[in-house]
């Protein structure tokens, strides 16, 4: 049998083009409508985090992040939310909200979105091996390195320089990298080792507040890192949840959620 001629072949259907997500609408879509809804969400998710047989999912962690961010932004919701949580969950929520509130004091909202690319981070197990390797080499608890990585670039999701010109997953100025870095400033393992080397040179592990202050000259930053590191010392599952946290950017128009693949096109 002859194959049909091109003229007689029906065209294949094509999918309708879809618009890329709006980062502002995406951020709003994860918000709760009331303190009671936030408390219920956090109770379920934090219960999973403290359990060894109920794995935390990416979706759980992203709702957790959105809930804490909403409480940071809406102080009047904090007390009713805390009151609705079980006793064991209340200090966990307070620590996460305090960390976020400290970081919020470091920056003002911007008018424009940043010129960053958002990429998928290295896997949680891969990064944990780098943190633990640096701990063995420099004597600094791995949770501090993970907390810095979380705050600086959401564990490698952000590709782009800071407004001060800092680069790479642990955000080093080129001059600082020249003094403390080995290898590639954009390589996760090399950057994490450089962070350990830098912290060790500035007082760690004996004086972690001093070392963290040298990393970023702000007591707000120091307190946030200590709080996130403390949660990860409580349970490695907290680290696994943080590893799923997305990149939010605070603007004069509200929060934007910069998803993996940003910018579109």
With respect to residue 183, please indicate whether it lies within any of the assigned structural domains: yes
For residue 162, count other CB atoms closer than 10 A to its CB.
15
With respect to residue 54, please indicate whether it lies within any of the assigned structural domains: yes
* pLDDT, position 265: 79
Residue ranges in the chain modelled with pLDDT below 50: 1-12
What CA dihedral angle connects 205, 214, 107 and 158, to 10 degrees?
A: -70
With respect to residue 247, please indicate whether it lies within any of the assigned structural domains: yes
| Tens digit of each residue's pLDDT (9 = 90 or more) over 32-70 | 999 999 999 999 999 999 998 878 899 999 999 999 999
CATH of the domain at 121: 1.10.530
Q: Quote the number of domains for the chain.
A: 1
* pLDDT, position 14: 56
CA 112 to chain centre: 20
With respect to residue 17, please indicate whether it lies within any of the assigned structural domains: no
| Tens digit of each residue's pLDDT (9 = 90 or more) over 217-249 | 999 999 999 999 999 999 999 999 999 999 999
With respect to residue 197, please indicate whether it lies within any of the assigned structural domains: yes
Provide the domain limits for residue 29.
23-258
* pLDDT, position 86: 97
Q: State the Cα–Cα distance between residues 119 and 31, nearest whole angstrom.
A: 23
With respect to residue 4, please indicate whether it lies within any of the assigned structural domains: no
pTM for the model: 0.92
With respect to residue 203, please indicate whether it lies within any of the assigned structural domains: yes
* pLDDT, position 129: 98
* pLDDT, position 5: 39
With respect to residue 3, please indicate whether it lies within any of the assigned structural domains: no
From the number of C-beta atoms within 10 Å of its C-beta (0-12, 13-18, 19+), residue 251 rates as: middle
């Amino acid at each position: 049998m002859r194959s049909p001629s091109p003229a007689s072949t029906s065209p294949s259907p094509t999918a309708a083009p879809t618009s890329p997500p709006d980062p502002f609408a995406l951020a709003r879509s994860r918000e709760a409508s009331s303190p009671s809804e936030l408390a219920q969400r956090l109770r379920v998710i934090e219960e999973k985090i403290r359990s060894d047989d109920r794995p935390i999912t990416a979706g759980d962690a992203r709702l957790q992040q959105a809930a804490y961010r909403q409480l940071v932004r809406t102080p009047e919701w904090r007390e009713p939310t805390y009151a609705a949580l079980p006793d064991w969950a209340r200090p966990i929520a307070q620590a996460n909200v305090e960390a976020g509130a400290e970081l919020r004091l470091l920056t003002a909202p911007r008018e424009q979105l940043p010129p960053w690319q958002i990429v998928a981070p290295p896997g949680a197990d891969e990064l944990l091996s780098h943190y633990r390797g640096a701990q063995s080499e420099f004597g600094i608890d791995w949770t501090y390195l993970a907390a810095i990585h979380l705050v600086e670039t959401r564990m490698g999701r952000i590709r782009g320089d800071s407004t001060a010109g800092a680069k790479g997953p642990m955000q080093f100025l080129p001059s600082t990298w020249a003094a403390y870095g080995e290898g590639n400033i954009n390589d996760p393992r090399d950057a994490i080792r450089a962070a350990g080397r830098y912290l060790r040179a500035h007082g760690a592990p004996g004086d972690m507040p001093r070392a963290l202050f040298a990393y970023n000259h702000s007591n707000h930053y120091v307190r946030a890192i200590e709080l996130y590191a403390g949660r990860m010392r409580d349970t490695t599952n907290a680290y696994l949840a943080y590893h799923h946290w997305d990149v939010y950017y605070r603007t004069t128009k509200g929060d934007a959620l910069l998803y993996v693949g940003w910018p579109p096109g």
